[in-house]
Structure 1
């Protein structure tokens, strides 16, 4: 069944209206795997898939279908199926999908929903895109502190059908002010006559609806939460953000940093059209070209020196290359630490000092190796000496700028990864060439003719 359940086979089943065979094929697959095998279906085919299986059975797979396909597929559903499918979605997924629709279809869909659901969608859509409120769901389990454990377990059982998660149950008063938290485990092991208020944990770490979602993701990973409550300014429950949504944020942020470190636009994907990839990359390359002119100019200042000792031309590339690699090492470590909130303002000097020290000791070791090779290669100890000294100096520069550039960008409220590698590479190229060729000028009588 597994290997045969291909895209072509799925298309055949949908076209033939073979519901039984389609259900049998899906039975052995996780919803995410089923959606992956359906990649390539046209939106009309996805719509037929939903109508063939029915919204309740199709939704688990539909939720894993790419958002751009989802929004187009909705337009091909009949009115009843459209309403049923949208109603079954979790509030946050529903709001995300509705927000992506064009205005006319969005208004039409919202008019078909119940007043309460329509109000809920609009409220979630009103939050800023990168705020906690935009990612929260309003389906969560709650209890009151005066309930006993036995009745609380029954309440949780009734809420489980619609709650996003029941592992965390939030304890609130009549006005929905957050008082504490109990886990499902707490309820199971507690005495049946115990009050929920007596076994709940407090205070509860929470976030405000307007907090930046990346900060919420850091908070959640720091405490290993499965979910975090979202409160209004009066401390009342608005919803929760579950880890699956925060994991997506963490993945997106990591991808964004990776692209920025490589000077790529985050809109480029592996399957992007050829000319679109070219269009996205060329601006970054041209901006990098401007910084490349600086080290090129530095080298031109020493043209006469290089002519007198040709060996310098090959060795200076090693000095610059190792400096660039070392700079990217420091840059990667510091950008990651900034992204995870591991570096605070008071840590900046310590971070800079460590990266400079790492560069110095790395330069001493690498310089000794490369310097020895240069001596054996050209038979001139002076060449080996200036290579060694230049590498020490350039790797110190690499450590300094690899840490300093992202820290400065963060202080300026910019993404620390954005364009950092361009500045670091320029610094190590200019520094490496200047130190190496400057030292060569000082000992030129010992190098001439080499």
Structure 2
């Protein structure tokens, strides 16, 4: 902690005194991500002054690692010339993402400063629907014509490499800019200089449409182990590429979203959210949960006469519901993950339901047998043990059924399969567990009392 405060004081002093040499030495001594972590504690106006002192070319690598919200605020404090230079040097996708998040007035100011080509590129990228491949792609990619030689291709790449984000793969297009193949940099280097590009390129090129859902793009890139994937329009013209770092961000966002939704949290809530906002985002889900809990309470109240005649039921019924809830969460987690990874199709998923029901049945038999033995040792009533065994087996079957059925149904309704799933599954296992256990106890009450 003391060391961090010391670094912060040094940064304040260097920026205040305009000590460019000290700032350069710090920037070069650290990885850009580590340097950005230090700079993130500065006020936006101080970070703007840092960029001005260091120069946009030096500061850009670090600035791109600074949290998005701080980037937006910092732009307000940059001089016009520095702002134009910084935005011109940024990769097209990062530049478009940043502009899209600005308010309308700031967008107009920034776009008016940029060159026409850059302005048109940004406007085109931000018009693609949110969650589509076009919204995540970059127009910064290397491409070649099929009718050239390897020698000329390498010369072109030397020129393009200075301005391109990545050249893991080089995409080959025809005169109409339609994507017809690709070649790796390794293949270009290893090939004879006088060979034609068409002779070494791979024609079996896998691409995605510009309007394709980014989650599907992420699955394809993971499946094929790509570092980048080309994006084409409706006429198969190459319009951009999506790199793995962008897809990794998407996968992280989706995993976080599923985790939040399974816990019945709004994805807009952050650890830094103000207290009133956190309360506002959580209470609606808690009220929904309260309604389902009341349904379980009404179920218990319906059998209050049975509980009054055999009080031991009150101490055992939470076990039946609790084990069912845990089993339901297990099935729910497995199915939601499988849906997210595309392992389950929307149609023909009856095998998944039967599998989860089967798991619930055998898990119920085992756990119910164990609990039946404990109940017999505790209360010495064989009928109570038998009821407990049957109730736990039935409730774990329900847990498997609803744990699979709820997320699959939500997906069929075009909703996120994690959305509120845990509330509905818990409701099913609570009501089902109480109903089965207390219902059987009511039917066999005269045996219990005897």
TM-score of the superposed pair, with normalisation by structure 2 = 0.97
1:98 to 2:107 alignment: no
- Compute the displacement of 1:369 (Å): 1.1
- Compute the displacement of 1:151 (Å): 2.3
1:447 to 2:448 alignment: yes
Deviations 1:218-241 (A, max 9, x none): 221121111111111111110111
The answer to whether the Cα contact below 8 Å between 2:48 and 2:74 also exists between their aligned partners in 1 is yes
- Compute the displacement of 1:294 (Å): 1.1
* More deviation, 414-423/380-389: 380-389
> Equivalent residue for 1:191?
192
1:149-188 to 2 correspondences below 5 Å: 149-188=150-189
CA distance in 2, matches of 1:11, 1:383: 72
The answer to whether the Cα contact below 8 Å between 1:7 and 1:39 also exists between their aligned partners in 2 is no
Moved over 6 A (4+): none
The answer to whether the Cα contact below 8 Å between 1:91 and 1:139 also exists between their aligned partners in 2 is yes
- Compute the displacement of 1:21 (Å): 1.3
- Compute the displacement of 1:203 (Å): 2.4
The answer to whether the Cα contact below 8 Å between 1:146 and 1:197 also exists between their aligned partners in 2 is yes
Q: Secondary structure of the equivalent of 1:139?
A: coil
Deviations 1:123-166 (A, max 9, x none): 11111122111111111011111222222222222211111211
CA distance in 2, matches of 1:153, 1:248: 32
CA distance in 2, matches of 1:433, 1:224: 48
- Compute the displacement of 1:101 (Å): 1.6
CA distance in 2, matches of 1:337, 1:242: 24
* More deviation, 22-31/2-11: 2-11
> Equivalent residue for 1:260?
261
Which runs of 5 or more residues in structure 1 are unaligned? none
CA distance in 1, matches of 2:29, 2:301: 67
Deviations 1:185-216 (A, max 9, x none): 11122222222111111221111111111221
Q: How many residues get paired?
A: 448
CA distance in 1, matches of 2:8, 2:394: 58
CA distance in 1, matches of 2:286, 2:30: 44
The answer to whether the Cα contact below 8 Å between 2:232 and 2:239 also exists between their aligned partners in 1 is yes
CA distance in 2, matches of 1:260, 1:6: 39
CA distance in 2, matches of 1:130, 1:24: 40
| C-alpha RMSD of matched pairs (Å) | 1.5
- Compute the displacement of 1:301 (Å): 0.8
1:272 to 2:273 alignment: yes
The answer to whether the Cα contact below 8 Å between 1:51 and 1:81 also exists between their aligned partners in 2 is yes
Q: Secondary structure of the equivalent of 2:146?
A: coil
- Compute the displacement of 1:12 (Å): 2.7
> Equivalent residue for 2:415?
414
* More deviation, 141-150/10-19: 10-19
